[in-house]
Amino acid sequence: MDPHEFEHDGIRFEVRFERVAEGWICRIHREGRDTAHIMAFPDGVGFDPSDVRGSLIAGCEAAVAVLDHALPTRH
């Protein structure tokens, strides 16, 4: 599945999708960062079977709205 790009609060994001046996893995990359947030979407409830891509995009965009965007720290 092709990556999806979007903007939230003036910040650009790219989501890359990977199909796995149990569902989908989505890697949400924030522009200018080397890290990614990993989201797992298991097969089943919550997907529109006629628009899986749209369902994944909606889930990732909703997650970005509540993710902590602070820089990672070293401990």
Q: Which residue has the tokens 């401990």?
A: 75
Any domain includes 72: no
Q: What is the pLDDT of residue 73?
A: 65
Any domain includes 74: no
- DSSP assignment letter at 68: -
Contacts for 58 with CB less than 8 Å, ≥ 6 apart: none
What six digits make up the tokens of 74? 């070293």
Q: What is the pLDDT of residue 50?
A: 86
The phi, psi pair for 47, rounded to 5°, reads: -100, 140
Please write the tens of the pLDDT for every residue from 28-74: 999 988 888 999 988 877 777 789 999 999 999 999 988 766 666 66
Any domain includes 75: no
Please write the tens of the pLDDT for every residue from 25-39: 999 999 988 888 999
Q: What is the pLDDT of residue 68?
A: 66
Any domain includes 56: yes
**Which structural domain range is residue 31 located in?**
4-66
Any domain includes 35: yes
| Number of domains observed in the structure of the chain | 1
Any domain includes 29: yes
Q: What is the pLDDT of residue 69?
A: 63
Secondary structure of residue 51 in the 3-state scheme:
coil
